[in-house]
A and B are shown apart, each in its own frame.
Chain A
Amino acid sequence: MEPEKFQELFHRLESEVSKIIVGHDDVIRKVLIAFFAGGHVLLEGVPGLGKTLLVKSLSRVLGMSFKRIQFTPDLMPSDIVGTQVLAESDGRREFQFKQGPIFAHVVLADEINRATPKTQSAVLEAMEEKQVTVFGESYPLESPFMVLATQNPIELEGTYPLPEAQLDRFFFKLLVGPPSPVELKEILQRTTGAENAEVSRVLPADGAELVGGMKQLLRQVLIAPPIEDYVVRLVHATQPASSNGNPTASPVKQYLRFGSSPRGAQSVILGAKGNALAEGRVHVSYEDVEKVVYPALRHRIILNFQAEAENVNADQILAELVKQVARS
């Protein structure tokens, strides 16, 4: 695939989703980047900000199959991945695998933190291995496969915060903020009038193949070794004991309990490549890296009690890191 074609499709997808979702351009772009990078996205925001609508719109414009799972405390793993059911055919009774809602191109795991850890972990294998195993038998998931999970940061009562292992599986964690007054006015105009905006499908019927080509192109994007080194230094700097074994050497370090895993660096590089392609370039620049470092690392660095007590969040620490780590 040509870079120009990628850029054109990317922009069409963005503009189509923007017909439904007012504002949140950055969130839309990052979700699309994660999609073409083969990652999953965790969307965090208070209710009513259009998270679910965003995912629905995205699946529509992509022309991919879409399933929504509403996570609740009584949700069972089999409700997600599927189960064996006894079926009768030709007078014979046998177990047949009944696919769960995970078998779709785009899966919306709504309020994922409301399900029990057991149920949450059922999604783990699907997200990482792109397959599910039921009664010892593995079933591959369709490609492309993307999980878009949402969680509410304020209603924490009766929730099960996602464990670090599961958080690490998400390519990006995107924060969906409240709309600005202008955006809110636009939302009102679009939703309270007689006309309802509809999104059209951008990708053709054989979209999966096209998406495969776009994914391949994204991975071919050129990245200079000094920029790779910069990413390595950034990710390494999130380790509390990275600065000569002295965890208190930097004020940034005093708030971190654990740093990012190598998956974080992978996400930064792939995200930067996706951003470069989206901007019509075939090479990664330092700016691309700095644009994706927040969504790629904010859920991978674990804050300590001091940070919680002092109301320091991951983005503040990452901003400090970006300032401290010099470009090579």
Chain B
Amino acid sequence: MRELASENSRKYPERLVSRLVAQLRHQALWDSLSYFSPPLLVIIYIAGYLYHGAWVGSLAALLMTLISIGAGILAVTLRYRPLVPSASKASRLIDERAGAKDRFLTLATIDPKRSPPSLIARLRLEAGGFLDRIELRRDFPYKFKKSCYASLIGSILAALLFHLLLPVAHSTLTSLLPAHQRLRELAEKMAERPRLIEIARSLQTLAAKLEDPKVAREEKQALIEEAQKKVAEQQKKEKQKDDQDLLGQAASTLKNLEQQSSAGKDQQENQEKGGGGVQSNLPQEGQGEGKPSPGGGGEQKGEMSAEVSKDMQQGKTAQGDPKEQSGEKNSQKQGDGKNNQPDPSKPDPNKPGMEKGKDSAGKTQGGGDDKGGRGKASEEIPQGAPPADRLHQAGEQGREGVKGARYVTVQLPEEVVAETKGEKGGNKDAKGGRVGSKVPVSNVPLPAHLPDAPTETQQMPLEYRGIIR
């Protein structure tokens, strides 16, 4: 059989070219596969990992896998096609290897019907003499290409990077999502697991309630706590890692929600206690140096309160006049902290000496009682009375509690309060912006009242002077 094959190949040496083409085609296919397989495997692995870690649903993971397989097949085909050698290229390789001076090229590419048979036969005979010099496996072995090594290394690196960057990316992404949406996503993932269906339902309900502005805060808080309990119980029962991961995510989300909710509640309470109105820490005539913001030094639970106080301390609230801001800063410096207390031995030209003792007492009160600082400050301001009664009148000594007030606190309308509380789960920047813009809290120092001072008149803008006389 072997002899027959050998005789055949001697008779038709051009068949060697066909064999080489087939061999090179296989090599090209293997090249393309080894080039694209590592990245494809990495993508499939990532899809599987994301699915098992409950980052994506089964459908998304399946789609990801199918798309990547399709793209891989397409890429392999596109790379493989140009690598497949033509008969002329393969025959030239044989000619070069055997030193056959283009005999195989001529035999492989010429049309025998249009050529003199005697010359073709002679050429075949000549080419047959070179067959001994060629052994396809020896002369054209498969070599693993550098590009394949690069692909393999690159894919491994990509997988490692994925493992390193996934937690970072996840934390960034989840912080961007609203809590109820996160809960909803978790619920959807849990719904795919039979053992977590019940928790999934409760989370769905909770997400719906959280979205609903009509639902009372207390009710939301209760629902969150209930869901937390359920999740904790299920966590104890659950042994499967994937489910535990899901439950862990749900627990942390609920914890965040709870913290936000309680913080919002605190703030509401503070506001309710403060009764709104206007609170000022402007140094008033006859009252001496004002005490610092009652809530400023305190460690607030609610982020919003903290923000407000921070803003107040930094003078970031909406101010009309920059001059006033700087003036206020100066007054804050005087009032902030114990180190900034004015030297009692130095008489303050703006304040009568008898007021100094009261001032220092006020400061101690504001700085020492951190947690309830804000509330106490609010208590100092009489609630329910019209602003004119609650604030100093010109020349008045002022009542206890109001004197030394250096900030103006405006009670928020109810809807603004509700909105602020509901959106506390958002990011810090958004919160800051909202507080700064929507909560009309100001630390504008009230202008010193001079009884004989002329009435302040606003100058008419230049463009109107000709029109209005």
Bound together: yes
Interface residues of B in 285-319 (CB under 8 A from A): none
Asked if A97 CB lies within 8 Å of chain B CBs, one says: no
B109 touching A225, Cβ below 8 Å = yes
Assembled-state Cα–Cα distance A284/B123 (Å) = 11
Knowing A3-B122, A221-B119, say if A281 contacts B101 (CB, 8 Å).
yes
Closest to B103 in A: A283
Which B163-189 residues have a C-beta within 8 angstroms of A? none
Q: How large is the interface on A (under 10, 10 to 19, 20 to 34, 35 or more residues)?
A: 10 to 19
Assess whether A270 is interfacial by the CB under 8 Å rule: no
Give the distance to chain B from A8, nearest Cβ to Cβ, in Å. Answer: 15
Q: B119 touching A227 by the CB < 8 A rule? A: no
Which one, B103, B109, B120, contacts A226 given CB within 8 A? B109
Q: Is the CB of A222 within 8 A of B88?
A: no
Contact of B106 (CB < 8 Å), options: A3, A224, A328: A224
How far, in angstroms, from A227 to B109 measured CA to CA in the complex?
10
What is the distance, in angstroms, from A187's C-beta to the closest C-beta of chain B? 34
Does any Cβ of B come within 8 Å of A286's Cβ? yes
- From B88, B92, B123, A283 is in contact (CB under 8 Å) with B123
The answer to whether B102 has its CB under 8 Å from any CB of chain A is yes
A224 to B105, CA, bound (A): 7
Question: In the complex the two chains form, is A222's CB within 8 Å of B105's CB?
Answer: no
A contact residues around B110 at 8 Å (CB): 222-225
Contact between B119 and A222, CB atoms less than 8 A apart = yes
B455 at the interface (CB under 8 A from A): no
Question: Cβ of B116 < 8 Å from any Cβ of A?
Answer: yes
Chain A, residue nearest B127 (CB) = A283
Task: A224 to B119: give the CA distance in the assembly, Å.
Answer: 13
Q: Is A43 an interface residue (CB 8 A)?
A: no
Contact (A220, B116) CB under 8 Å given A225-B110, A282-B122, A283-B123: yes
B119 & A286 in contact (Cβ 8 Å cutoff): no
A25: Cβ under 8 A from any B Cβ: no
Chain A window 116-142, contacts with chain B (Cβ cutoff 8 Å), 1 for yes, 0 for no: 000000000000000000000000000
Q: Please give me the residue from chain A that is nearest to B102 by CB atom.
A: A285
Residue of B at shortest CB range from A281?
A: B101
Asked if A287 lies at the interface with its beta carbon under 8 angstroms from chain B, I say: yes
User: Are B101 and A222 in touch, CB under 8 angstroms?
Assistant: no
Complex Cα distance, B122 from A3, in Å, reads: 10
B339 sits at the interface (CB 8 A) = no
Whether B88 pairs with A226 at a CB distance below 8 angstroms is yes
* 20 chain-A/chain-B pairs, Cβ below 8 angstroms: A221-B119, A222-B115, A222-B119, A222-B120, A222-B123, A223-B110, A224-B88, A224-B106, A225-B88, A226-B92, A227-B102, A227-B106, A281-B101, A282-B119, A282-B122, A283-B103, A283-B106, A283-B119, A283-B123, A287-B101
Q: Give residues in B with beta carbon < 8 Å to A.
A: 88, 92, 101-103, 105-106, 108-110, 115-116, 119-120, 122-123, 126
